[in-house]
A = this chain, B = another copy of it.
């Protein structure tokens, strides 16, 4: 059983249905360690780092982890956020700041319920946490379908990395056994039922579609003002993220772009 296997590796109490925690550009090893501790407190162990400033592995991380070594032992490092989330289907960007993007904004409690529900229908989830000082870039936020904000005293709302991981991880852990039998309440909050035979698209599939679309738009001269291109790309990506695309949707959209540009669907093989 998975639980036994986890225990052998020093991950007692870790569950297989938790979200991945993705720390983007963490600066201090100490913060990686305290985040790992907070994860293990909440039964989470899938820690992923994107371009940690001081490299990996980090002795400071191990020292600060209060013994959560097993989480750090299996931490994976990626160069790009896109690669770190490639296998995930539902991605949340944690941010304390207002962004000029149109996305759902949810609390930790709501995200927790949604993540459990997503797991029950076979989707893998991940939570993006930004750099200590500067957070996530707009392009990184654009990879996520949903923004997660911890509602705190607006006059004093800054959290350190480990505290943010802890509050959000705890909400997930506290909600772990809710809604097993009456899973239908998930849909009451506006979730979409996915037809049998379909599944939420993976991040890498969506990225491939974005590449296709943006290449086509470049070829068609859509971006007339080069300095506006990043914003327009981001808005388009956000728009499609909000649609919670299935694998079938992505194939359809590839077909739309290909048909409109009059080219072969060579991307789909």
The 0/1 profile, CB within 8 Å of B marked 1, for residues 148-173 of chain A is 00111111111110110011001001
Any B CB within 8 A of the CB of A56: no
For the complex formed, measure the closest distance between the CB of A77 and the CB atoms of chain B, giving whole angstroms: 23
Interface string of A126-155 (1 = CB under 8 A from B): 000000000000000000001100111111
Instruction: Please determine whether B163 and A193 come into contact, CB atoms closer than 8 angstroms.
Output: no
Contact B173 A153 (CB under 8 A): yes
Alpha-carbon gap, A249 to B146, bound state (A): 17
Is A28 engaged at the interface, CB distance under 8 Å to the other chain?
Answer: no
Q: How far is the CB of A117 from chain B (nearest CB, A)?
A: 13
Q: Are A190 and B40 in contact (CB under 8 A)?
A: no
Contact B153 A193 (CB under 8 A): no
Give the interface segment out of A19-27, A47-55, A78-86, A217-225.
A217-225
Q: Is the CB of B109 within 8 A of A174?
A: yes
Knowing A102-B195, A174-B107 touch, does A12 contact B153 (C-beta < 8 A)? yes
CA–CA, A109 and B102, complex, Å: 31
Known: A104-B192, A166-B166, A252-B235. A40 touches B220 (CB 8 A): no
- Assuming A190-B106, A193-B102, is B245 touching A239 (CB within 8 A)? yes
In the complex, what residues of B have CB within 8 A of residue A159's CB?
Answer: 41, 166
Question: Within 8 Å CB of A107, what residues of B?
Answer: 174, 187-188, 190
A153 → B minimal CB distance (Å): 4
Contact with B along A189-220 (1 / 0, CB 8 A): 11111110010000000000000010011001
A66 close to B (CB within 8 Å): yes
Whether A242 contacts B244 by the Cβ 8 Å rule is: yes
A110 to chain B: which residues have CB within 8 Å? 187-190
What is the distance, in angstroms, from A212's C-beta to the closest C-beta of chain B?
11
Q: In A57-107, which residues have CB < 8 Å from any B CB?
A: 66-68, 98-107
A4 within 8 Å of B (CB atoms): no
Listed A/B pairs (18) with beta-carbon separation below 8 Å: A12-B154, A14-B153, A37-B156, A38-B163, A40-B155, A41-B156, A41-B157, A99-B193, A101-B193, A102-B193, A104-B190, A110-B190, A147-B193, A152-B170, A220-B262, A235-B249, A240-B243, A242-B243
Additional A-B contacts beyond A40-B153, A236-B256 (19; CB < 8 A): A11-B155, A12-B154, A41-B152, A42-B152, A42-B153, A43-B152, A102-B194, A104-B192, A110-B188, A110-B190, A146-B190, A150-B170, A151-B187, A189-B189, A221-B259, A222-B260, A239-B253, A242-B243, A260-B261
